[in-house]
Structure 1
Amino acid sequence: MIPSLASSRRWGLALLLASYVAVWSCTASSDLLQLLSRAHFDFTLNMYGTLANVTDDRQQNLLISPYSVFSLLSMLFLGAGSESLSSAQLRAVLRFHNISYASVQRAFKEVTQVLDNPYYYRHFQEDADLLLTNGVTPADVYARALDEFYRRSVNYLNLGAPSAQEDLATWLMSAAGSGSGSDSGSGPDSPVGSGVRQLPDLEAALADNPVLLLVSRAHFHGSWMHPFDPARTFSKGLFFSKPSQRLTMIPSLASSRRWGLALLLASYVAVWSCTASSDLLQLLSRAHFDFTLNMYGTLANVTDDRQQNLLISPYSVFSLLSMLFLGAGSESLSSAQLRAVLRFHNISYASVQRAFKEVTQVLDNPYYYRHFQEDADLLLTNGVTPADVYARALDEFYRRSVNYLNLGAPSAQEDLATWLMSAAGSGSGSDSGSGPDSPVGSGVRQLPDLEAALADNPVLLLVSRAHFHGSWMHPFDPARTFSKGLFFSKPSQRMEVPMMTSRMLVPLGYNSDMEARVLELPLSTRRISVFLLLPDDMEHGLARLEANLTMDNLRTLLATLKEVIVNVKLPRFRMEGSGDLRRVLRTQGLTDVFDPVSSDLTGIDPQGRVHPGPLLYAASLVLDETGDSGDTSGSQQMAPSEDTRISDKYFEVDHPFLFLVWDYHSAMVLLMGRVVHPEPLF
């Protein structure tokens, strides 16, 4: 009976890049949080004003948790009949004028995730409870939704028990539940209400044997950023309740720091809208995309054979280098060069780490593990262990840990090969630990030169591994795949490859200056999309496209995307890429980090024994009809009709092309490459 949370909102990368890849700034979830924040603050002022007006004694204290009450009523809104007067009145009181039912719940889920941090439990403990009585149990779908969006559960109170009033009093004074900042379950032993001594009239509350009680409890005891000095507290300060009535013996806290609410209110308390973390993600996304194009361009230029395939995970390499940046000496040349290569021009050291923590949280979703498995590893050798503070920071911001490789073992090279081909680690979308039994590299068979990589007995190995096998939003029909399609690596060189065909409604664009077309093929739920960049010229178009692949040119090309009916022909293939990126990174100016003498990674090892050796990468990609599953029931292929056939567009991938795999939610390029010789999947 809970309406399905479906949205018709559709995303396009052109709009994203038009704002310089500022995905999280004022879009996606931050929009929902902004709308919920506005509604909440409007509700707060109205509720407080009404409470102040209906209170008989204007001289009494008032204290309430607007967030807790707002949560309670929103939980009622979750369970209200969609067209009922109850739902309409709750919407009006909660100020949900411009936010849909589904968006309310999704925004609350994000609020709950934010507040589910031990920080809040140290300062603010809160719980909002629905207490059912008389043996009534909630519908299972409501209980699941309550847990999904609010991390709450319905609790029970036995009104028939002689101790019912006492039980409720205990609940109010001491129970915690599963509210913000607490990992503990509901019960009288948890500390939420530890500061509560004043209770409402419980006898009156239970007089009518209510079926459902709504209970809000909160306690605040903060720890100041700038603590007051107890030695400066004056034990006999004065506080005037009225001009003629003063209370003595109220300790007065002295401090030179003063805070104002004016600035907060000037932005309508839209704290999450376009500030705080969304700004950080915007800055990180810009840096990442700039880094991606520069790294790919350099990789393409230093590759001896322009006719070979290229495949790499920019996100994974970006993560690895950012982990080095985390451990670089703050004023060192190593840190400065890492900042330049990573394009961290306008983002502070601390902001980089906080932004990466949010990216990691986004990618730590089972959705990604079904489509894209990735790991970025720091492998220490020769018995060196990282500083404890670095290990903790690595776990906090990247959800990674330092791993170890015994170079003295006869199987060292074999162990590294196994690691590259099959280990998963704690990367995006995976809850499993690092090790050769986990599936990240399951598609990797092509390895870099491991003998050369280990020749100099490196103290630190950087290892990037990624595998992509997506499930299309509009799957291709295997029955329509032509087994003997043609792909021209050169005008005079052709190969047979299975050619998938479909007719679908997808974004298509073209730019005459770049002489290239672009097609977006979204994966299921459209969190990830594959963008295919196909040059007009079969022989020289790919080299020209790579040479002109700048941020501005790509933004111009993607800005032409429009949703039309397209007849798509795409090879069914797999590809791999691997190598050592040191040459690429040195070409970009990252020289000091790889110098055993001058490298400064004293944040990792204060004794200065750590410097990176090779940065090894291995990536694989599979594009087939459906991706992970064989189900094509979700296909939206359309049979041509006489009315539409003339206006159909065509996108036939029969010669070399570029592609990138983009994640909308993290604003990261998961994979990027060029396809010159697709390996057929027969």
Structure 2
Amino acid sequence: MRAFNCYRATRSTAVMDKRPSAGLIVTIIWLAAVPTTVVSAPEAVSRATNELGMVLYRKVAETDPKGSNIFLSPVSVAAILGMVQLGARGRTRQQINSALAGGADSNRLISSGDDDDLAAGFGELFKDLNAEKGYELRLASAVFLASGLPIFERYKRDLEKHFASGVYSANFANNGREAADDVNAWVRDMTEDRIPEIIERPLPPSAPMLVLNAVYFKGLWQSPFKTEDTITGEFFNEGGSRAVPVPMMRQKGEFVYALSDSLDAHILELPYVGDRVDLVIVLPRRKDGLAELERKFSLEAARQPLAAALPRKVDVWLPKFQLQQAYSLKGALQSLGVRDVFSSRDANLTGVSSKRPLALDEVLHKALLDVDEKGTEAVAVSSGIIRHSKTPGGEVEFKADHPFLFFIEDVRTQTLLFLGRLQRV
């Protein structure tokens, strides 16, 4: 008999080979058993998500090998912390709130009148992000409980209310391999089979609880690249002097482009159909300028020049690439001050269950991104977002033939969906 029935989502059929850019994220936490400014709007959660993403990016960059690519989803990691925060109490909860505030005063995220404002903000934000648009963006959550482990009804109700999270039973103690298989089946279902598994070994019998969040994004370029224009170009891995061959996409069109003196970088905005989500590429002027760009980079430093720019003719050169990254974020989160929740002595998750003490054991994050030419000629659906008016301008060249930063964001809420760097192809 199966340990549990894995969740199967109702969804529209996705045509995978028509994706110009697709981002897939799964974040997973498992918990191990052990012997005042009031801001509650989705905007505050979006800001917190972005700040957390930037800090995590820098932590990952510090520990990753030199020359490695990075790709992660701030909104997915923030969702996991938000789900755990619902059941955290005392100092454990305060540390999570502080991390979600980017290390700042967590009081700005929490109302003195209702300590669940943060979760409510997540709920409103995710409902907005999951709404039907001209592209597919889905955030899904799930909690898997060890058979026989009771969960407080309020925690279950709040998970369902704010994170649309299903709660399922799993036989971790007697069949860790089968439980892992079923969890991976949920991951495959939520990511359209693009991420086949996140758990590569049997789950430990002592793990009473798994917390998962999956983000699936499929977007079609508003201005697609033509496959016949793709040529064999060059990409200078790690900004070195030797180039490697790479399929280089090319098109000339009207795009929002800016040159930032403060970042010493070219910035290009590539919108997806629906006019709601953009890919922003930040390309250092110098081939070996990525490290300096990372030191200076902030979201505002990239957004401000774009906000002041008008569309102009741009000759775009962009490599086709695929990223698949996997991380343990436990160390990064601990360095942000999220310590008690990982401690068998100090963790306070008494809002989840009274059965036995719980502590976080691990935070795993897996991400995949595809960027290619495919797109659609369909006119973008209006979403009420004010865009720049067209204006004449001289043609500029944007040639991404060396390492760059990029991020994918929801324009209306300014939520950072994905963030990364391409150092080598």
Pairwise same-fold verdict (TM > 0.5): yes
The answer to whether residue 39 in structure 2 is matched with residue 292 in structure 1 is no
Return the match for 1:339 from 97, 106, 114: 97
Structure 1: tracts of 5 or more residues without a match: 1-275, 425-435, 636-643
| CA shift in 2, pair 1:632/1:533, >3 Å | same
Match of 2:318 among 570, 573, 577: 570
Which of 123, 144, 160 pairs up with 1:357? 123
Which residue of 176, 180, 183 corresponds with 1:416? 180
Closer, same or farther: CA 418–565 of 1 in aligned 2, 3 Å: farther
Q: Structure 2: how far apart are the matches of 1:391 and 1:474?
A: 43
Change in 2 beyond 3 A, CA 1:442/1:448: closer
Alpha-carbon contact 1:475-1:634 (below 8 Å) kept: no
Q: Is 2:172–2:208's contact at 8 Å kept on the other side of the alignment?
A: no
Query: Which residue does 1:444 correspond to in 2?
Result: 195
- Counterpart amino acid of residue 290 in structure 1: E
Q: Quickly say closer, same or farther: Cα 1:462–1:535, change in 2 above 3 A.
A: farther
Is residue 270 of structure 2 the alignment partner of residue 521 of structure 1? yes
Residue pair 1:570, 1:654 contacting (<8 A) in 2 also: yes
Tell me: higher relative CO, structure 1 or 2? Use CA pairs within 8 A at least 6 residues apart: 2
SS at match of 1:593: helix
Pick closer, same or farther for the CA change 1:311–1:589 going to 2, 3 Å.
Answer: same
Determine if contact 2:173/2:204 at 8 Å carries over to the other structure.
Answer: no
Q: CA deviation at 1:530?
A: 0.7
Structure-to-structure mapping, 1:200-349, within 5 angstroms: 280-303=41-64, 305-329=65-89, 332-343=90-101, 344-348=106-110, 349=115
Q: How does 1:447-458 map to 2 (within 5 A)?
A: 450-451=200-201, 454=203, 457-458=206-207
Deviation for aligned residue 1:321: 0.3
**Aligned partner of residue 647 in structure 1, secondary structure:** coil
Structural mapping, 1:175-186, within 5 Å: none
Matching residue's letter, 1:345: N
Q: Distance in 1 between matches of 2:178 and 2:366?
A: 15
Shift of 1:656: 1.2
Correspondent of 2:296 among 504, 528, 548: 548
- Equivalent positions of 1:434-513 (< 5 A) are 436=188, 438-440=189-191, 442-444=193-195, 450-451=200-201, 454=203, 457-482=206-231, 484-490=232-238, 491-513=240-262
Offset at 1:591?
Answer: 0.6
Cα displacement (A) at 1:457 = 3.5
Deviations 1:121-143 (A, max 9, x none): xxxxxxxxxxxxxxxxxxxxxxx
Q: Which amino acid aligns with 2:50?
A: F
What percent of counterpart residues are identical?
25
The 5 A counterparts of 1:374-393 are: 374-381=139-146, 383-393=148-158
Q: Distance in 2 between matches of 1:525 and 1:328?
A: 38
Higher helix share: 1
Q: Does structure 1 conserve the Cα–Cα contact (< 8 Å) formed by 2:142 and 2:213?
A: yes
On the 8 A contact 2:315/2:395 being kept in 1, the answer is: yes
CA distance in 1 between counterparts of 2:192 and 2:367 reads: 8
CA distance 1:381–1:545, change in 2 (3 Å): farther
Using structure 2 for the length normalisation, give the TM-score.
0.78
**For residues 506 and 409 of structure 1, do their structure 2 counterparts lie closer, same or farther at Cα, with a shift above 3 Å needed?**
farther
**Distance in 1 (alpha carbons) for counterparts of 2:393 and 2:274:** 30
2:331 matched to 1:583?
A: yes
Residues of 2 paired with 1:282 and 1:373: CA distance?
19
Q: Is the 8 A contact 1:567 1:650 kept in 2?
A: yes
Question: Counterparts of 1:439 and 1:561 in 2: how far apart (Å)?
Answer: 37
User: SS where residue 360 of structure 1 aligns?
Assistant: helix
Q: Secondary structure at the match of 1:526?
A: coil
Aligned residue number for residue 653 of structure 1: 400
Instruction: State the one-letter code of the partner of 2:52.
Output: F
Q: Is the 8 A contact 1:314 1:669 kept in 2?
A: yes
How many Å separate the matches in 1 of 2:420 and 2:174?
35
Counterpart CA distance in 2 for 1:503 and 1:415 is: 50
Distance 1:326 1:656 in 2: 39
Equivalent residue for 1:538, pick from 284, 287, 292: 287
Displacement of 1:290: 1.5
Greater strand share, structure number: 2
- Does structure 1 retain, via aligned residues, the 8 Å contact 2:72–2:366? yes
Stretches of structure 2 that go unaligned for 5 or more consecutive residues are 1-37, 381-390
Partner deviation per Cα, 1:262-314 (whole Å, 9 max, x = no partner): xxxxxxxxxxxxxx99x7122222222212211211121122x1311111111
| Residue of structure 2 in register with 1:250 after alignment | none
Count of matched residue pairs:
369
**Corresponding residue for residue 162 of structure 2:** 397
Aligned CA distance change for structure 1 residues 551 and 566 (closer, same or farther; 3 Å) = closer
CA RMSD of aligned residues (A): 2.8
CA–CA distance in 1 between the matches of 2:213 and 2:424?
A: 23
2:424 equivalent to 1:673:
no
Tell me how far apart the structure 2 counterparts of residues 475 and 595 of structure 1 sit (CA, whole Å). 49
Judging changes above 3 Å, is the alpha-carbon distance between structure 1 residues 612 and 561 closer, same or farther for their aligned structure 2 residues?
farther
